[in-house]
Structure 1
Amino acid sequence: MSRTFKALSMQPKVHFPAQFPGAVSNAFSSRQARQGHAWLGPWFLPLAALYAAALWLRHKAYDWGFLHSERGALPTLVVGNLELGGTGKTPHAMDLAKRLESRLGTGTVAILSRGHGRSSNRFQWVDEGCTWQHVGDEPWMMARALRPMPVAVGANRLEALRAMAQTRPELKAVVLDDGMQHRALVPDRLVCLQSRPNASWASALPAGPWRDLPSR
């Protein structure tokens, strides 16, 4: 099948989700963005510079082909962000998955999450017998809220997508809740949620909340 998501308009690529907790108003000043808002601020700028340089080298290693990346076994729509904290990834992923399913058909869309905080990193479908300790609290919540839409967890996104394609051949698309920093996977569509505009490398960890380069 075509690997494009013709059923949905994914513009704009960068969205400022003011309706979700963790998002901030557009009045957020550039001075706050430079200093990392309530983070550790200018005292940690040297460490932030080292962190930003390491990120730049990692991205270039993928861009130049020194590190391998590939498309998944299924068409993927990744919902991610550049900063720590809540920008509404999970509710956006749930909404996009429901909208896709309404167009592609029941049972054809699934959600994949890393499953932060769970006791294992292996691939696993989130079923009724799972507890949040086994799969992570957000995947457990999504599976209950979106039932019967399938939800899976897996730290290695490429391996997880292969397992999903093998065990559920009816799937036509997978929405990834987080995964923008998983550069081994080349997504078919990427939605970046950003709550702090006008940031620079000076807002990178640990001087600020940015876990990835704003230039992405």
Structure 2
Amino acid sequence: MLTNNEIKLNYYLNPISFLYGIGIRLRNRLFDWDILHSEQYPVPVISIGNLSVGGTGKTPHTEYIIDLLKKQYRIAVLSRGYKRKTSGFILANPQSSSQEIGDEPFQMKNKFPDVLIAVDANRRRGIQILLSLPEQERPEVILLDDAYQHRYVCPSLSIVLSDYHRLFYNDKLMPTGRLREPINGINRADIVVVTKCEEDMKPIDFRIIEENMKLRAHQLLFFTSIVYDEIKPVFPSMAQSLRRKDIGKEEDILLISGIASPSPFIREAKKYSKKVLPVIFPDHHTFIKSDFKKLDETYEMMTSPGKLILTTEKDAARLKDNPLVPESWKKSLYYLPITIKFHNGQSFDETIKKHIIAVQKKSIL
């Protein structure tokens, strides 16, 4: 039920959403009519994106596909590197920082050092550079992170993610809602994944969502849940290993989050302790000196002997190479890694592998 203030705000925002929708529909039509051109490539190009702004879980799903394919194929991930302090094309190396390539590419490069991680806001140029690498380095599969609206590239497979708690068919166009484009944009997808599902969902819940989506016959629908791994130190050489079950219910936890949807992270932390203090920042937040000063003052006021600072994996990427992190934190700063679990995972894995084989066979012919 909307409050009076929300109704009033929607009244003023709806005309803007209407005009925004006209612009996006016209742009999509220009691509559909081939007035604006989408380029195809001779290798499998898999796009992982969404219809909405905000966190639907693109990074863990991209990492899932990397993990699925990395032993069999040379993989490259191409991202725009949101909020990086650089421009143009950059191919990440072991010395790259989150400031240079963005927090999510930095996270993936640290987790998968042997995988090509590149950033370029111009995805077409980025793919061309990757495919011009020497043959022994050239990727056999390219994953596009958050590129569903980047229609100058025509991916061989499009995967769209939608948060279970804010499904695209219940949402509205920006700025009234969070949709980047109209709901019928889902028609370009080959695969739709409903993310952040509850573990106790019943078959009827899946069927209701499937019916409401009204997907086309060729489109596949999957469901995933978040799985939290054991917590890890941000600075392993300075902090002891710590398991979740070792955290006492009366221990203070300062929870730092700069992600789009922090609620699941907060709920998970509250399973470990009754004394969790969340401090929430905007998505992709760059931590500055005044942030650390306020956070440190809060942390120093905590009195339990086993107190700790817990952050998300994405925030850890920004904190790890931030010179402003207080030295006193490094023995107490941990992050909570996440992976994803498919409710019908084997079928998803087979779909991805079969697609790659099909594209490669077509390229040879």
Segment of structure 1 superposing worse, 168-177 or 145-154:
168-177
Alpha-carbon contact 2:162-2:168 (below 8 Å) kept:
no
Alpha-carbon contact 1:72-1:158 (below 8 Å) kept:
no
Letter in 2 for 1:212: E
Alpha-carbon contact 1:41-1:208 (below 8 Å) kept:
no
Letter in 2 for 1:199: Y
- TM-score normalised by the chain length of structure 2: 0.46
Give 2:16's aligned residue. Answer: 47
Alpha-carbon contact 1:73-1:162 (below 8 Å) kept:
no
- TM-score normalised by the chain length of structure 1: 0.76
Tell me the C-alpha RMSD between the 2 structures: 2.1
Match of 1:178 among 146, 158, 164: 146
Q: Does 1:83 align with 2:49?
A: no
Q: Which consecutive residues of structure 2, in runs of 5 or more, have no partner in the other structure?
A: 186-365
Relative to its length, the structure with more helix (as a share) is 2
Q: Deviations over 1:3-56 (max 9, x none)?
A: xxxxxxxxxxxxxxxxxxxxxxxxxxxx78xxxx99x53431111111111100
Q: Deviations over 1:138-160 (max 9, x none)?
A: 11111001121111111111111
Give 2:124's aligned residue. Answer: 158
Alpha-carbon contact 1:74-1:161 (below 8 Å) kept:
no
Give the superposition deviation at 1:137.
1.0
Match of 1:203 among 166, 169, 172: 172
Structure with max Cα Rg: 2
Give 2:97's aligned residue. Answer: 131
SS of match in other structure, 2:30: helix
Match of 1:142 among 102, 108, 116: 108
Give the superposition deviation at 1:168.
4.7
Instruction: Could you list the structure 1 runs, at least 4 aligned residues long, displaced by more than 6 angstroms after superposition.
Output: none
Alpha-carbon contact 2:86-2:99 (below 8 Å) kept:
no
Give 1:114's aligned residue. Answer: 80
Give 1:98's aligned residue. Answer: 67
Alpha-carbon contact 2:92-2:117 (below 8 Å) kept:
yes
Q: Distance in 1 between matches of 2:178 and 2:29?
A: 22
How many residue pairs get aligned? The number is 177
Match of 2:26 among 51, 57, 81: 57
SS of match in other structure, 2:59: helix
Give the superposition deviation at 1:198.
5.7
Give 2:268's aligned residue. Answer: none
Q: Does 1:189 align with 2:157?
A: yes
Q: Distance in 2 between matches of 1:55 and 1:117?
A: 23
Q: Deviations over 1:64-91 (max 9, x none)?
A: 0111111136320000001111000111
Give the superposition deviation at 1:194.
1.0
Alpha-carbon spacing, 1:72–1:156, altered in 2? closer, same or farther (3 Å) = farther
Give 2:40's aligned residue. Answer: 71
Q: Distance in 1 between matches of 2:168 and 2:56?
A: 16
Q: Distance in 2 between matches of 1:198 and 1:127?
A: 36
Letter in 1 for 2:24: L
Give the superposition deviation at 1:111.
0.9
Alpha-carbon contact 2:81-2:102 (below 8 Å) kept:
yes
SS of match in other structure, 1:193: strand
SS of match in other structure, 2:18: helix
Give the superposition deviation at 1:211.
1.1
Letter in 1 for 2:167: P
Alpha-carbon spacing, 1:198–1:99, altered in 2? closer, same or farther (3 Å) = closer
SS of match in other structure, 2:106: helix
SS of match in other structure, 2:26: helix
Give 2:220's aligned residue. Answer: none
Letter in 2 for 1:49: F
